[in-house]
């Protein structure tokens, strides 16, 4: 069986969880085994039911000890359920959680670990995968020579599945020991500003060096993103200059996004940036250089100064909404 660990937030499955269901379904077909979803959390029955629309079978551990995401509790729960099934592959999203939990589960299961993969296939008795390595300078082929294996999948690489199942939901219980509960989570505060999760956003407003500084993000990108309910992204040049946090970098060495609409403001369109956003449905670029490569990737383009055009665009959208 394949155990698919589905992440959720605020009572809803994350987009990456659905992509993982799709990846798991494809691999399960190749391995001729059943894909089984897993929901961990507290008060998460609805998430489990939602996942059962995509997978034939879902297991859910609904326990107050899982109210916060803690690597130790997740590791124990996933390991126990993987042994119980038994799972030939444990699938996680290559999110912060997945990248933190995956290695721990692999150690407990004594299983090989393939991390942050962008494609995966069965090759005889082993799994072969592709991933980016060495700060994305190299595409690497990696192989897990034995099963069970633990695999984390890069978000926004797999398509979203159709909701075609009426799967069963089975409750499971895990008894957590003292060592699982050593870390406690205290107060939680939301950061000010862009609070839309970039990898989940259906609209992304992205800024490049053409914005001229952190100020350009505050005055041009943030108001537009706020109006559109969009996630904020940046190029590596921007992040390296310290104008925006690394978490907002899109591209080969940053995040991969696949929104319905990607607005690129003052972004040149370097190939390393494009590889992180070229799955966007519609791309709109604003750049003062008509020969900038971003226009080759764009569906709509405006040649002009972001400082002039973006406020006009924001104003027009605000009036249109009002």
Cα torsion angle, 293, 253, 75, 188, sign: negative
- Among residues 34, 123, 170, 289, the one that binds ligand FAD under rule CB under 6 A: 289
Tokens 């069970």 label which residue? 148
Q: Contact 77/50 with Cβ under 8 angstroms?
A: no
**149 strand-pairing partners:** 89
Report DSSP state, residue 179: G
Binding mask 38-77 for ligand FAD (x = CB under 6 A): ----------------------------------------
CB 310 within 8 A of CB 228: no
Q: By three-state DSSP, how is residue 143 classified?
A: strand
Nearer to ligand FAD, 172 or 303 (CB): 303
Closest distance to ligand FAD from the beta carbon of 169 (Å): 39
Binding mask 141-180 for ligand FAD (x = CB under 6 A): ----------------------------------------
**What's the min distance (Å) between Cβ of 304 and ligand FAD?**
7
CB 265 within 8 A of CB 208: yes
- Judged by DSSP in three states, 238 sits in helix
Q: Contact region for ligand FAD (CB under 6 A) — 77-85, 134-142, 150-158, 165-173?
A: 134-142
Which of 58, 55, 76, 57 has the alpha carbon at shortest distance from 66? 76
Does residue 306 touch ligand FAD according to CB under 6 A? Answer: yes
Which residue is it, tokens 């002039």?
308
Q: Which of residues 252-281 bind ligand FAD (CB under 6 A)?
A: 252-254, 266-268, 270, 272-273, 276
Interface residues toward ligand FAD, by CB under 6 A:
135-137, 208-210, 235-238, 249, 251-254, 266-268, 270, 272-273, 276, 286-289, 292, 305-307
């Amino acid at each position: 069986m394949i155990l698919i660990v589905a992440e959720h937030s605020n009572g809803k499955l994350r987009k990456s969880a659905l992509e993982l269901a799709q990846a798991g379904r494809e691999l399960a077909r190749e391995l001729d085994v059943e894909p089984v979803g897993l929901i961990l959390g507290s008060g998460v029955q609805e998430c489990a039911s939602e996942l059962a629309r995509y997978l034939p079978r879902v297991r859910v551990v609904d326990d107050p000890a899982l109210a916060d995401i803690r690597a130790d509790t997740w590791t124990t729960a996933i390991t126990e359920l993987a042994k119980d099934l038994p799972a030939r592959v444990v699938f996680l999203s290559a999110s912060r959680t997945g990248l933190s939990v995956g290695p721990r589960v692999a150690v407990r299961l004594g299983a090989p670990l393939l991390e942050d993969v962008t494609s995966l296939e069965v090759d005889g008795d082993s799994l072969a995968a592709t991933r980016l390595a060495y700060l994305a300078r190299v595409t690497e082929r990696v192989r897990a020579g034995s099963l069970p294996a633990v695999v984390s999948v890069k978000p926004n690489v797999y398509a979203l599945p159709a909701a075609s199942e009426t799967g069963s939901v089975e409750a499971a219980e895990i008894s957590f020991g003292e060592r699982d509960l050593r870390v406690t989570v205290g107060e939680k505060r939301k950061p000010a500003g862009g609070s839309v999760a970039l990898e989940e956003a259906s609209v992304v407003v992205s800024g490049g060096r053409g914005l001229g500084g952190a100020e350009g993000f505050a005055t041009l990108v943030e108001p537009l993103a706020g109006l559109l309910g969009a996630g904020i992204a940046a190029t590596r040049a921007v992040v390296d200059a310290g104008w925006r946090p690394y978490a907002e970098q899109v591209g080969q060495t940053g995040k991969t996004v696949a929104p319905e609409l990607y607005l690129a403001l003052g972004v040149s369109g370097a190939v390393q940036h494009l590889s992180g956003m070229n799955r966007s449905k519609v791309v709109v670029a604003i750049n003062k250089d008509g020969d900038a490569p971003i226009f080759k990737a764009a569906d709509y383009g405006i040649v002009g100064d972001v400082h002039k055009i973006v406020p006009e665009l924001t104003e027009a959208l605000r009036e249109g909404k009002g």
